């Protein structure tokens, strides 16, 4: 007796494209996440995912060469390629320290394109999660402002 075999259909969750036309970039993220513009001029957005691990994308138009080479006075620990983009890595295992104490760890990525400095900040992390890396792999420079 022959029975018909139905292939299993695997449906991937939908992804949404966030385009920041003001600063000329786009990023895709799962529909379960959300992107909030946190500054009025749209130079900073926060990608929120459930249950956690949010990260921020900050755009800087006026910066110095030191801003490219350092994050909170910490030099780059190397480079990392994600989705065809080459990012400088910054790891602050003790977070930001001042006279009162230190914060949780901070991991940051920076990339300069044209006259724009893109910084991605991960609080309470020492590297990216798999999902964060998947999202960053979709980061594209669309047009310069």
Q: What share of the chain is helix, strand, coil (3-state, %, to 5)?
A: 10, 45, 50
Using H for helix, E for strand and C for coil, what is the string for 12-46? CCCEEEEEECCCCEEEEEECCCEEEECCCCCCEEE
- Domain assignment present for residue 35? The answer is yes
Which residue stretches of the chain have pLDDT < 50?
none
- Domain assignment present for residue 112? The answer is yes
- Domain assignment present for residue 10? The answer is no
Q: Which domain holds residue 99?
A: 15-141
Asked whether the bond before 51 is cis by omega within 30 degrees of 0, the reply is: yes
Query: Which pLDDT does position 4 carry in this prediction?
Result: 54
Look at the chain and report how many structural domains it folds into.
1
Assess contact for 56 and 120: CB atoms under 8 A.
yes
Query: Which pLDDT does position 144 carry in this prediction?
Result: 58
């Amino acid at each position: 007796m022959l029975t018909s075999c139905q292939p299993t259909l695997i449906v991937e969750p939908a992804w949404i494209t966030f385009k920041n036309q003001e600063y000329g970039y786009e990023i895709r993220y799962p529909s379960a996440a959300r992107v909030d513009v946190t500054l009025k001029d749209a130079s900073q957005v926060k990608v929120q995912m459930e249950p956690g691990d949010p990260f921020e994308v900050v755009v800087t138009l006026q910066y110095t060469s030191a801003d490219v080479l350092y994050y909170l006075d910490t030099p780059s620990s190397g480079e990392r390629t994600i989705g065809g983009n080459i990012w400088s890595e910054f790891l602050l295992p003790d977070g930001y320290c001042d006279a009162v104490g230190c914060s949780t760890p901070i991991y940051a990525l920076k990339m300069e394109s044209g006259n724009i400095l893109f910084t991605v900040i991960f609080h309470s992390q020492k590297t990216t999660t798999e999902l964060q890396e998947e999202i960053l792999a979709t980061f594209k420079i669309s047009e310069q402002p």
